Amino acid sequence: GIQVEQSPPDLILQEGANSTLRCNFSDSVNNLQWFHQNPWGQLINLFYIPSGTKQNGRLSATTVATERYSLLYISSSQTTDSGVYFCAVTISNFGNEKLTFGTGTRLTIIP
């Protein structure tokens, strides 16, 4: 099956810092999503981004499908950004609608 690797596994930053989270995947995909799991365990969809670049406030994401990676940028970090960030993909294969998650990046923002 498809391999989804995220880096770094852990990241600790001071409030106000910027960060870049990476998601590498081993096969062609037609679906890539970024999620944030907050400290209370809730999973929030951040971006649906199979290709290209999107921005939402302090967050932006870029997927380069031909090179099989996606990046999530967080600028001017706040303590509420803490939690685990997951990327998830579906491979480009008709009849396969499974969503595969990476193991996540745990982000801790220190006041």
Partner 1 sequence: EAQVTQNPRYLITVTGKKLTVTCSQNMNHEYMSWYRQDPGLGLRQIYYSMNVEVTDKGDVPEGYKVSRKEKRNFPLILESPSPNQTSLYFCASSFGPYQPQHFGDGTRLSIL
**Which residues contact partner 1 (rule: CB under 8 A)?**
1, 30-31, 33, 35, 41-45, 48, 50, 86, 88, 90, 97-104
E strands within 1-111?
4-7, 10-14, 19-25, 29-37, 43-48, 52-56, 59-64, 69-74, 83-91, 100-101, 105-110
- The minimum distance between CB 99 and partner 1, in angstroms, equals 6
Cis bond upstream, residue 9 (ω within 30): no
- The minimum distance between CB 111 and partner 1, in angstroms, equals 26
Cβ nearer to partner 1, comparing 69 with 101: 101
- The minimum distance between CB 90 and partner 1, in angstroms, equals 6
